[in-house]
């Protein structure tokens, strides 16, 4: 059978491997770390840095197509692989999504067709840039241009002095200052596009974050109007088309208090807010990634059941201030109506670490939400 390759061995790679194997592929994972979630299930683990030429050469020689599950994979490595195998998404698309300046510029370029703009922003690369900040950008959020995730590498700033202190504390790496916007709620749109240019757009998902980390995803979102859903889905389609993207891509949006839709960022891979598709849609985001990279027809994105996804962080292994982990009561969670538990095979729970997720699917959203509340109570998560 044919081999598919993935750069990165985290939980996204693990769930990708499961989907690929279900369709008869073998999976090779390139990952620098030891004992990774995807390495436990892949047919082959190629240990090595993301820039290790011999590891990359082995991956390219083995695989008919290669993708990434790690947002910050070196774009140069994707380009190198792309000369030797079919790579999706492309190095160019990955490099835009990795760099907040390039990403914002791209969103602005897309605005005539997407109809949405990113938050007002300015590149901060020097103290002179800070002196030149327009008052209208404050209060704001200073974000590192590269490598940020789960709200890491972000500081909220009220004044020019705050920006200076935050910029200096990030030891002078290039940052982006974004105006703090009055959010009503957050949504994301998962899309997939094939090498033939065909694209699909999943139902819009409503996301709640806690401490910068995704907490729940609800689909259909209780706050999302039909008009907002259509606007976000149309924008997402325009963005993937203009990118010439191949594979699964997730785009995050803000909905402001006045109803304005603002595009925030995109992830060039399956996304945490798309995990609900595994249990609630005809084709999961991981099966869709397999189809796109193997140049097979894209699958139907129709959602067959309302769904609520709850992220399971390492915190639920720890009672109160205890630092001795104990296994959560999965039996009680699994007894709830519509529960589907996904754990990522990580043996060392740590607070704020993504260990798994549970999706509740039910004939009505209210039933799924009732199960969510019970699960939070069982797991000791403040609802
Ligand atoms: P992710 O883990 O989603 O990749 P990230 O670290 O790349 O996160 P963002 O998604 O840009 O960072 O920001 C994290 C969260 O901070 C957002 O989901 C939103 O709640 C809040 N936030 C970010 N930018 C703004 C803004 N301009 N105005 C208001 N809130 C914001
Ligand atoms: Mg991000
Ligand atoms: Mg985000």
Residues 341, 252 within the same domain = yes
Look at the pTM and tell me if it is higher than 0.90: yes
Confidence of residue 171 (pLDDT cuts 50, 70, 90): confident
Q: Are residues 8 and 55 in the same domain?
A: yes
pLDDT at 151 over 90: no
Ligand 2 centre distance from Cα of residue 273 (Å): 12
Q: Looking at the structure, tell me whether residues 174 and 251 fall in a common domain.
A: no
pLDDT at 153: 87
User: Looking at the DSSP assignment, which residues form a beta bridge with residue 30?
Assistant: 7, 46
What CATH number is associated with residue 151? 3.30.1490.20
Q: Please give the pLDDT value at position 60.
A: 98
Residue 383 banded pLDDT, cuts 50, 70, 90: confident
Average pLDDT, the chain: 97
Element holding 256 (H helix, E strand):
strand 247-256
Give the domain-ending residue among 138, 164, 179. Answer: 179
Complex prediction ipTM: 0.98
| CATH number of the domain where residue 220 is located | 3.30.470.20
Whether 210 maps to a domain, the answer reads yes
52-84 pLDDT, tens per residue? 999 999 999 999 999 999 999 999 999 999 999
Calculate the alpha carbon distances from 288 to 98, 194, 247, 349 in Å.
22, 10, 8, 30
Q: What is the mean predicted confidence (pLDDT) over 156-182?
A: 95
In a domain, 115, yes or no: no
CATH classification of the domain holding 44: 3.40.50.20
Give the end of a domain, one of 150, 179, 208: 179
Residue 172: predicted pLDDT: 81
pLDDT tier, 314 (very low <50, low <70, confident <90, very high otherwise): very high
Residues 136, 187, single domain; the answer is no
100 lies in some domain: no
CA distance 295 to 128: 49
In the β-sheet with 140-144, what is the strand arrangement from edge to edge?
A: 121-124, 175-179, 140-144, 154-157
Asked if residue 208 has its Cβ within 6 Å of ligand 1, the reply is no
**pLDDT band at 104; cut points 50, 70, 90:** very high
Domain-located, residue 114: no
| Mean pLDDT of the region 85-89 | 98
Tell me what the mean pLDDT of segment 325-335 comes to. Answer: 98
In a shared domain, residues 212 and 313: yes
Is residue 248 pLDDT above 90, yes or no? Answer: yes
- Of the listed ligands, the closest to the CA of 153 is 1
Q: Do 370 and 349 fall within a single domain?
A: yes
Both 170 and 211 in a single domain? no
pLDDT of 256: 98
- Does one domain contain both 149 and 208? no
Q: Which atom of ligand 1 is nearest to the CA of 264?
A: 11
- With respect to residue 72, please indicate whether it lies within any of the assigned structural domains: yes
Ligand 1: does its nearest atom lie under 6 Å from the Cβ of 265?
yes
Give the number of domains in the chain: 3
Res 150 pLDDT > 90: no
pLDDT of residue 300: 98
**Residue 259: DSSP 8-state:** S
Q: Is 127's pLDDT higher than 90?
A: yes
Query: Same domain for 133 and 267?
Result: no
How much is the pLDDT for 353?
A: 96
Task: Find all residues with CB under 8 Å of 75, minimum gap 6, and list them.
Answer: 91, 92, 94, 95, 98
Ligand 1 center from residue 204 Cα (angstroms): 18
Quote the pLDDT of residue 167. 96
pLDDT band at residue 149 using 50, 70 and 90 as cut-offs:
confident
Domain that holds residue 243: 183-379
Looking at residue 117, the DSSP 8-state letter turns out to be B
> How confident is the model over 196-235, as pLDDT tens digits?
999 999 999 999 999 989 999 999 999 999 999 999 999 9
Query: Tell me, what's the pLDDT at 29?
Result: 98
> 171 and 207 share a domain?
no
Whole-number Å distance, alpha carbon 252 to ligand 3 midpoint, is: 6
10 located within any domain = yes
Please state the atom number of ligand 1 nearest to the C-alpha of residue 153.
Answer: 6
Arithmetic mean of pLDDT, 313-327: 95
Tell me, yes or no, whether 357 lies in a domain. Answer: yes
Both 125 and 195 in one domain: the answer is no
Atom number of ligand 1 nearest to Cα 151: 6
| Closest ligand by atom to 272 CA | 1
In terms of domains, do 297 and 204 share one? yes
């Amino acid at each position: 059978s044919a081999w598919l390759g993935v750069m990165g061995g985290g939980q996204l790679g693990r769930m990708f491997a499961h989907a690929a194997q279900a369709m008869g592929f073998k999976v090779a994972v390139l990952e620098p770390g030891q004992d990774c979630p995807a390495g436990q299930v892949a047919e082959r683990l190629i240990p090595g840095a993301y820039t290790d030429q011999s590891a990359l050469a082995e991956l390219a020689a083995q695989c008919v197509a290669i993708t990434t599950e790690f947002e910050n994979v070196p774009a140069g490595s994707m380009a190198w692989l792309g000369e030797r195998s079919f790579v999706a998404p492309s190095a160019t698309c990955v490099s835009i999504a990795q760099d907040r300046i390039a990403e914002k510029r791209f969103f602005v370029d897309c605005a005539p067709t997407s109809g949405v703009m990113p938050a007002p922003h300015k590149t901060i690369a020097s103290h002179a840039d800070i002196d030149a900040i327009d008052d209208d950008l404050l209060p704001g959020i200073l974000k590192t241009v590269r490598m940020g995730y789960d709200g890491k590498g972000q500081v909220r700033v009220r004044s020019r002095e705050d920006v200076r202190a935050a910029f200096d504390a990030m030891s002078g790496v290039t940052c982006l200052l974004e105006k703090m916007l009055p959010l009503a709620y957050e949504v994301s749109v998962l899309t997939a596009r094939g090498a033939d240019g065909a694209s699909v757009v999943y139902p819009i998902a409503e996301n709640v974050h806690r401490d910068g980390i995704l907490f729940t995803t609800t689909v259909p979102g209780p706050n999302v109007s039909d008009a907002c859903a259509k606007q976000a889905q149309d924008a997402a389609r325009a963005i993937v088309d203009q990118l010439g993207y191949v594979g699964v891509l997730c785009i995050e949006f803000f909905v402001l208090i006045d109803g304005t839709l603002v595009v925030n960022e995109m992830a060039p891979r399956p996304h945490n807010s798309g995990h609900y598709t595994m249990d609630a849609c005809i084709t999961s985001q991981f099966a869709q990634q397999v189809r796109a990279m193997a140049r097979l027809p894209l699958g139907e994105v129709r959602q067959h059941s309302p769904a609520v996804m709850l992220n399971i962080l390492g915190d639920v292994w720890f009672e109160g201030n205890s630092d001795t982990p104990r296994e959560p009561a999965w039996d009680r969670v699994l007894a709830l109506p519509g529960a589907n538990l996904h754990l990522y095979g990580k043996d060392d729970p740590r607070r704020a670490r993504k260990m798994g997720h549970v999706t509740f699917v039910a004939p009505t959203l209210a039933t799924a939400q009732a199960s969510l509340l019970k699960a939070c109570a069982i797991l000791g998560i403040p609802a």
